[in-house]
Amino acid sequence: MKIFLAVILILSTVEGYSQKKGKVDPKDVTIDSLTSVTTILTTQLDSTTKSAASLSMELDSVSKDLTRFKEMYTIIKEQVVLRDFDPAEMGTIIDSLKAGRDATFSGLSASSKSMADSVALLTKENVALKEMMTILQEEEGNKEKLVAELKQLKELLDANIITQAEFDEKKTLLMAKW
């Protein structure tokens, strides 16, 4: 009886070990690749959502500044200038008000000319600084794009969608582009 049970046990284990593993179904491979692409797209969507939230916060702060500037424009229009004016010419208006006051009290026109010159110089400096800020912000945005693209390539490599050679080639192209 023991021998009979031992033979049955041996035959059942041999049968289990002798079964061949089947080939991987192409549909399963497609499903796996689609799952990895979905994960990548979800990550991109999350980063886009974060960017939209930060832009919304910036828009709110700009709207607050706009409200303040509109209030200031209204006060100056109604109290000082007594007519509509171009807000871009505010520096000239302030200079003319100062010049009129200086001419009334001191009769000196040289000081008003120097003030006008200083306002013009400060305006040029402000324009240059704003351009520099814009350039720096663009460079920072470009760096963020580069990092995001490199992360995507790394995820593709980790998911075995691309090979190490393809990864190195695309990474070299990205680095050359930036």
25-72 per-position pLDDT tens digit:
778 778 888 888 889 988 998 888 888 888 888 878 878 888 888 888
- Answer for the pair 91, 123: CB distance below 8 angstroms, yes or no: yes
pLDDT digits (tens, 9 = 90+) for 62-75: 788 888 888 888 88
pLDDT score recorded for residue 162? 86
Q: Which two tokens stand for residue 49?
A: 């959502």
pLDDT score recorded for residue 65? 84
- Answer for the pair 91, 74: CB distance below 8 angstroms, yes or no: no
pLDDT score recorded for residue 82? 81
CA distances from residue 173 to 20, 153, 157, 166 in whole angstroms, order as listed: 44, 12, 16, 11
pLDDT score recorded for residue 90? 79
Residues 6+ apart with CB under 8 A from 81: 93
Residue 47 and residue 111: Cα distance in Å, rounded?
55
Q: pTM higher than 0.75, yes or no? A: no
pLDDT score recorded for residue 132? 92
Nearest CA among 161, 154, 155, 159 for reference residue 171: 154
pLDDT score recorded for residue 107? 52
Q: How many CB atoms lie within 10 A of CB 95?
A: 19
- Answer for the pair 148, 47: CB distance below 8 angstroms, yes or no: yes
pLDDT score recorded for residue 40? 92
Residues of the chain with pLDDT under 50: none
Rg (CA), the chain: 36
pLDDT score recorded for residue 103? 57
Residue 142 and residue 177: Cα distance in Å, rounded?
11
